[in-house]
Structure 1
Amino acid sequence: MKKTIFLIGIFLLIGLKINAQELTCEDFKIGQFYIPETPQMAKYTIVENDSITEFSPERDKTIKKYIVIREKNSQTEWKNGIGNGKPTYEILEWIDDCTYRLTYDFSKGEMDEMTKWVNENNGIVISRRKIENKCLYYTATMTTKDGQKISQDGIICKE
């Protein structure tokens, strides 16, 4: 009897492992996602010439997460939920299966100084670090016209 229960348990575990979905970069190209506000997102690294500097700008503490609705080459980002305030519209230019360049879409709304500056500096390149559970861990990097390389680590998760 104990052997039978043990074997049933083993078969159930094997069945669960076989049916467990391993996510790939493709799973993060279309759909609804969220970007949680994490301590990593509050820290930026700047590499300029031979020096490395870290800084953490003041963050809006009312933002708990961003909701992202992504189509293959564009995304709309909402702070704290769909319909909450004005969305941000972004263009995605895929470099390879796991890397893309993000710029802001000025044709769908006004851009502030920061979004204009990002576009003027050829956007932000987002590259995958790892995929774990339902989340893709990434590094976002922007190289400015002045030669600064600004990077930030973040997470985007499937809803």
Structure 2
Amino acid sequence: MKRINNMKGGDFYLVKEALIDLSNEKIQGSILDIGIKNYGVIYNISKHYSGNFDVDYIDERKDNVKIEQDYYDCCTLFFTLSDILLKTSKETLFKDIHTYLKEEGYLYIWDIDKKYNKYFHSKIKIKLPDNNMKEITIKDYNIFKDNSKESILKLLNHYFIITDSLERDGLYFIKAKKRKTY
């Protein structure tokens, strides 16, 4: 990762290229894919491993009226949180996801690790299960937004148990299991 100081005091993190290897990632069952942008990655993973799969989408243009509570085996957020400005909005999203997931449900998150007063710009190559490559570009120049892995883990802790997390090249992955409600 290359760090460039900016004249206004913020740091600019430029990762020329990052790789996310999803060639062995198995996401199966009923899936709720929540995103601001639909990259088609979750669909391709699901299609590869299961001929019979159910993926429902929530994006910024659709409401969640038809989303059922305690229905989904898993929920995915693929570069979604970095598009949400407020910490309270992220926490509300996690609370809602908690209600959508079955008792043994999982949440999968892939996103950028960007703190306050930082910038992020990177091309990201995604290796899919069929060995095809998909390339996306992520830019975030909002220095007032915190999307760091550390802050997301704190928000998740109220509703989920972290089962796996990785961090590399300014990106992170988190897998979390729904906490039981009493």
Larger radius of gyration: 1
Higher helix share: 1
Please report the TM-score for the alignment, with normalisation by the length of structure 1.
0.26
TM-score by length of 2: 0.24
